[in-house]
């Protein structure tokens, strides 16, 4: 025992060297693993040994088998979950419309809760929640089940039933998870609107899906102050004639106006309700939720997901990618207002019977070490966050994580944007202490669950690459004109060739837009909107949204590559590049750059950065303009809004749709930013 422990402590994640000779092994043991690509980070053997998927050979076998018969593969996964009635057909595919597990009846709330109550998990923590002020709540599976049942009964008492849409506008409190699980329990369709959005965002989304009720909180804590959610809802509901009832969960205790007959306190509603509510057996294709994503232009798209397939996809990917173990504390730092929170705070982890950590507030409140303090306090084992957060941590300095014991961590993940290799290495070294594999997970609101990602016990990782498709997923990088795969190492469009269970079923109320946006670029394939390169080892490198690709003298430059080059300079914290019209080259690169704390801007640094990019990539990628700025415009989920930067660079007075922008004041600051 002592010996094994020592080994764990010593085992660091090694960088493979092609020249390394495989160690001789005792007879009868497994053969040595196939060699990893040069320079790749190989999963520590201690990790692989206990992982769900233990080797590349195992991964390859899974993927090969899933390719032979994807329907059989996915049916095998779905069978691990509870179905009230079995399906008759795994897939009905009338492109671009898929139906999975046709005729089957199930319930996702049942699979996240009831399924565990007859097992050792009954009294296990389902949700460990920490409020921004420091309060902590733990809900066991049994307790969460009771809360969900009570609230499901309360919704029913308000006349909410199967197929009705329920808008949800809450902070990150356990009741948010309870609300969506209660909707799923009775077959009501939830539409979560991120709690940082404005009145108009609520109005547009409620209108689009004709929601009949809205669940909110009095307020939410954010950096020590109260965000008055109910007030915003009141303004919105004035313009939303479909809303019949408003449920208000008390969190911050601020004064709110309650409209008699329309508004109900959560605690009063549930007080009289029973803590049992049988989960409704729902058709596999019954609508589960709508989640709006802002398109590059125009009105947000209501991405529509259904029950059985989404359940199957989030269940499998949570298990394999996060390698969930019963004893883990797993923490995804996303907001539930974003798809990552739906799939990887609530549904995926709970379907696996995991302990899901949830945090209410800002990462730098009261101090920039809040996340590391949470990890230390709750002994978090698996940590999943976004590159934008990692770049902020780098900017704030490693003294903050270094103050804390992070030894509980065994696995790290990222999602949301391409991660710059520089940020990846920092995450690996400073947070993971070179012990923890990193899963860089590529997926979308539309895909419902993770599509391209390392399996942490199997896949050697290359910083900046999301590596390879998960079993049952068949992406390809194709030529725009022919739709055929491009040769390895060449850029093309990232498409998915075959349907998968958690794929979107459409855009709510707009089938034409669904076909135009996703199914018209490449015949017969789902177009992701992203550009990518697959290298000779079969690794996928996402180079960003194709709308953002910059064409300089006929060369396509992905934003990720140029931004990574800038961020690899020791003074740079974050960068965003865009194309600006140029007489000579068609387009030239303009870069918006934020510096690490303590670094000073100046013309000398501009020249240095230009030279640095030219050196890293080539003269073609050298930015023509560099602007230093305190911050970049981002969506709340942390994605840089290059579209707004283009508007600013071209001197437009009227800036495009900004309803998803995190911090409006950044726009004003950017307009002032120094040019040249
Ligand atoms: C989960 C989520 C989707 C878009 C997607 C990409 C980008 C997400 C990665 C990534 C490179 C990643 N849903 N993206 N993950 N790019 N590597 N690991 O983000 O609908 O909000 O966005 O995000 O462009 O198409 S989303």
What is the position in ligand 1's atom list of the atom closest to the CA of 544? 24
Contacting residues for 577 by C-beta, under 8 A, at least 6 apart: 550, 559, 562, 563, 566, 589, 590, 591, 592, 623, 642
C-alpha 162 to ligand 1 mean position (Å): 31
Write out pLDDT tens, residues 367-388: 999 999 999 999 999 999 999 8
pLDDT higher than threshold 60 for residue 3? no
CB of residue 109 inside a 6 A radius of ligand 1: no
Whether the predicted pLDDT of 662 surpasses 80: no
Task: Judge whether residue 663 has pLDDT over 80.
Answer: no
Instruction: Report the C-alpha gap between 153 and 87 in whole angstroms.
Output: 28
Is ligand 1 within 6 A of the CB of residue 542? yes
CA 335 to centroid of ligand 1, rounded, Å: 15
Give the Å distance between the CA of 415 and the centre of ligand 1.
6
Which atom of ligand 1 has the smallest separation from the CA of 419? 17
Q: Is the CB of 339 under 6 A from ligand 1?
A: yes
**Beta-strand relationship, 540-545 and 355-359:** unpaired
Structure confidence at residue 295 as a pLDDT band (50, 70, 90): low
Q: How far apart are the first and last CA of the chain?
A: 63
Q: Is 528 in the pocket of ligand 1 (CB under 6 A)?
A: yes
Instruction: Report the range of poorest mean pLDDT among 58-62, 109-113, 199-203, 313-317.
Output: 199-203
pLDDT tens, 516-571? 999 999 999 999 999 999 999 999 999 989 988 898 888 888 898 899 999 999 99
Indicate the pLDDT class of residue 22, thresholds 50, 70 and 90.
Answer: very low
pLDDT at 21: 44
CA distances from 228 to 170, 193, 535 (A): 10, 15, 49
**Ligand 1 centroid to residue 459 C-alpha, Å:** 20
Pocket probe mutation, ligand 1, options 542, 544, 660, max atoms within 8 Å of Cβ: 542
Contact 461, 427 (CB under 8 A): no
Cα of 542 to ligand 1 centre, how many Å? 9
The CA-based angle 512-515-518, given to 5 degrees, is 140
349 ligand 1 Cβ < 6 A: no
* Nearest alpha carbon, ligand 1 atom 13: 444
User: Mean pLDDT score of the chain, rounded to an integer?
Assistant: 91
Regarding the beta carbon of 443 and ligand 1, being less than 6 Å apart is answered yes
For residue 11, what pLDDT band results from cuts at 50, 70 and 90?
very low
Q: Which of 291, 321, 443, 521 maximizes ligand 1 atoms within 8 Å of its Cβ, making it the mutation to test the pocket? A: 443
Query: Does the CB atom of residue 545 touch ligand 1 within 6 A?
Result: yes
For residue 183, whether the previous peptide bond is cis, meaning omega lies within 30 degrees of 0, is no
293: Cβ below 6 Å to ligand 1?
yes
The answer to whether the CB of 416 is under 6 A from ligand 1 is yes
Give the ligand 1 atom nearest the CA of 414: 18
Provide the pLDDT for residue 420. 92
Q: 576 CA distance to ligand 1 centroid (A)?
A: 16
How far apart, in Å, are the Cα atoms of 145 and each of 151, 271, 350? 10, 15, 11
- For ligand 1, is residue 440 a contact (CB within 6 Å)? yes
Question: Sign of the C-alpha dihedral, residues 63, 64, 67, 69?
Answer: negative
Using the mean position of ligand 1's atoms as its centre, give its distance from the Cα of residue 416 in Å.
Answer: 4
* Cβ–ligand 1 contact at 442 (below 6 Å): yes
| Pocket lining: 504 vs ligand 1, CB cutoff 6 Å | no
pLDDT at 406 over 90: yes
Tell me the CA–centroid distance for residue 139 and ligand 1, in Å. 31
User: How far apart are the CA of 444 and the centre of ligand 1, in A?
Assistant: 5
The pLDDT of residue 10: 39
Residue 589 CA, distance from chain mean position:
29
Ligand 1 centroid vs 569 CA: distance in angstroms? 24
pTM of structure? 0.90
Contact 413 CB / ligand 1 (< 6 Å): no
Supply the pLDDT for residue 224: 94
Q: Which of 436, 553, 519 is nearest to 11 (CA)?
A: 436
**Per-residue model confidence as pLDDT tens digits over 447-456:** 999 999 999 9
Measured by CA distance, the residue closest to atom 16 of ligand 1 is 417
Among protein residues, the one whose CA lies closest to atom 22 of ligand 1: 444
Calculate how far, in angstroms, residue 544's C-alpha sits from the geometric centre of ligand 1.
Answer: 9
Distance (Å, rounded) from C-alpha 451 to C-alpha 441? 7
Helix residue ranges per DSSP H, 322-361: 339-341, 348-351
Cα-to-centroid distance, 574 and ligand 1 (Å)? 18
Q: What is the DSSP string of 593-646?
A: EEEPTTPPP-HHHHHHHHHHHHHHT-GGG--SEEEE-S---BBTT--B-HHHHH
Confidence of residue 2 (pLDDT cuts 50, 70, 90): very low
- Residue 338 CA: nearest ligand 1 atom is 21
> Taking the C-alpha atoms of 53, 57, 63 and 65 in order, what is their torsion angle to the nearest 10 degrees?
-110
Q: Could you tell me the domains of the chain?
A: 553-672 (3.30.300.30)
Name the nearest CA neighbour of 174 among 226, 123, 250. 250
Average pLDDT value for residue range 29-42 = 74
For residue 545, report the distance from its CA to the centre of ligand 1, in Å.
Answer: 9
If you take atom 1 of ligand 1, which residue's CA is the nearest one?
444
What distances in angstroms separate CA 499 from CA 90, 504, 625, one per listed residue? 12, 10, 43
pLDDT of residue 27: 52
Tell me if 441 CB under 6 Å of ligand 1: yes
Ligand 1, atom 10: closest residue by C-alpha? 417
Reply yes or no on whether the pLDDT at 638 is more than 90.
Answer: no
Nearest CA to ligand 1 atom 26: 444
Q: Which protein residue has the closest C-alpha to ligand 1 atom 12?
A: 442
Query: Does a cis peptide bond (omega within 30 degrees of 0) precede residue 366?
Result: yes
| Ligand 1 atom having least distance to the Cα of 637 | 21
pLDDT score, position 6: 37
| Residue reference for tokens 């969900």 | 148
């Amino acid at each position: 025992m002592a010996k094994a422990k020592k080994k764990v402590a010593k085992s660091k994640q090694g960088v493979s060297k092609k020249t390394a000779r495989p160690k001789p092994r005792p007879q009868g043991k497994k053969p040595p693993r196939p060699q990893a690509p040069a320079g790749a980070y190989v999963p520590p053997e201690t990790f692989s040994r206990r992982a769900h998927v233990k080797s590349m050979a195992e991964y390859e076998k899974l993927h090969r088998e899933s390719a032979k018969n994807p329907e059989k593969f996915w049916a095998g996964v779905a069978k691990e979950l509870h179905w009230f009635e079995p399906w008759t057909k795994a897939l009905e595919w009338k492109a671009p419309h898929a139906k999975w597990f046709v005729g089957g009846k199930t319930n996702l709330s049942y699979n996240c809760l009831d399924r565990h109550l007859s097992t050792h998990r009954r009294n296990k923590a389902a949700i460990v929640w920490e409020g921004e002020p420091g309060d902590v709540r733990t809900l066991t599976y049994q307790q969460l089940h009771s809360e969900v049942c009570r609230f499901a009964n309360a919704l029913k008492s308000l006349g909410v039933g199967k197929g009705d849409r329920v808008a949800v506008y809450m902070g990150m409190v356990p009741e948010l998870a309870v609300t969506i699980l209660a909707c799923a329990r009775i077959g009501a369709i939830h539409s979560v609107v991120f709690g940082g959005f404005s009145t108009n965002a609520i109005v547009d989304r409620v209108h689009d899906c004709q929601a009949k009720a809205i669940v909110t909180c009095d307020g939410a804590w954010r950096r020590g102050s109260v965000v008055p959610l109910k007030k915003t809802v009141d303004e919105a509901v004035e313009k939303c004639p479909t809303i019949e009832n408003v449920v208000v969960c008390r969190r911050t205790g601020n004064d709110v106006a309650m409209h008699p007959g329309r508004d109900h306190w959560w605690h009063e509603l549930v007080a009289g309700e029973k803590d049992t509510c049988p989960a409704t057996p729902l058709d596999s294709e019954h609508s589960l939720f709508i989640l709006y994503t802002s398109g590059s232009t125009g009105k947000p798209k209501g991405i529509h997901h259904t029950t059985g397939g989404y359940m199957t996809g989030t269940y499998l990917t949570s298990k394999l990618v996060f390698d969930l173990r019963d004893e883990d504390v797993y923490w995804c730092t996303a907001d539930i207002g974003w798809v990552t929170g739906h799939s990887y705070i609530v549904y995926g982890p709970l379907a696996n019977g995991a302990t899901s950590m949830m945090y209410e507030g800002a990462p730098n409140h009261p101090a920039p070490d809040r996340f590391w303090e949470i990890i230390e306090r709750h002994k978090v084992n698996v940590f999943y966050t976004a590159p934008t957060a990692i770049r902020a941590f780098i900017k704030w300095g490693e003294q903050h994580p270094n103050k804390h014991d992070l030894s509980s961590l065994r696995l790290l993940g990222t999602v949301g944007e391409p991660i710059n290799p520089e940020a990846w290495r920092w995450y690996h070294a400073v947070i993971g202490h070179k012990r923890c594999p990193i899963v860089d997970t590529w997926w979308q609101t539309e895909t419902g669950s993770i599509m391209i990602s390392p399996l942490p016990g199997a896949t050697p990782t290359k910083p900046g690459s999301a590596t390879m498709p998960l079993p049952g997923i068949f992406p390809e990088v194709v030529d725009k004109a022919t739709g055929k795969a491009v040769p390895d190492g060449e850029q093309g469009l990232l498409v998915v060739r075959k349907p998968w269970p958690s794929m979107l079923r459409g855009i709510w109320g707009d089938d034409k837009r669904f076909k135009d946006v996703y199914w018209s670029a490449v015949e017969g394939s789902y177009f992701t909107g992203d550009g990518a390169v697959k290298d000779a080892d079969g690794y996928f490198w996402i180079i960003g949204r194709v709308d953002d690709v910059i064409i300089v003298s006929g060369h396509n430059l992905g934003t990720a590559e140029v931004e990574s080059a800038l961020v690899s300079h020791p003074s740079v914290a974050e960068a965003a590049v865009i194309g600006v019209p140029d007489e000579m080259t068609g387009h030239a690169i303009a870069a918006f750059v934020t510096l690490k704390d303590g670094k000073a801007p100046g013309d000398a640094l501009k020249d240095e950065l230009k030279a640095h990019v030219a050196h890293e990539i080539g003269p073609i990628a050298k930015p023509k303009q560099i602007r230093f700025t305190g911050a970049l415009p981002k969506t709340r989920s942390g994605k840089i809004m290059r579209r707004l930067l283009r508007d600013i660079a071209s001197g437009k007075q009227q800036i495009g749709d900004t309803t998803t922008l995190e911090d409006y004041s950044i726009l004003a600051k950017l307009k002032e930013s120094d040019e040249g």
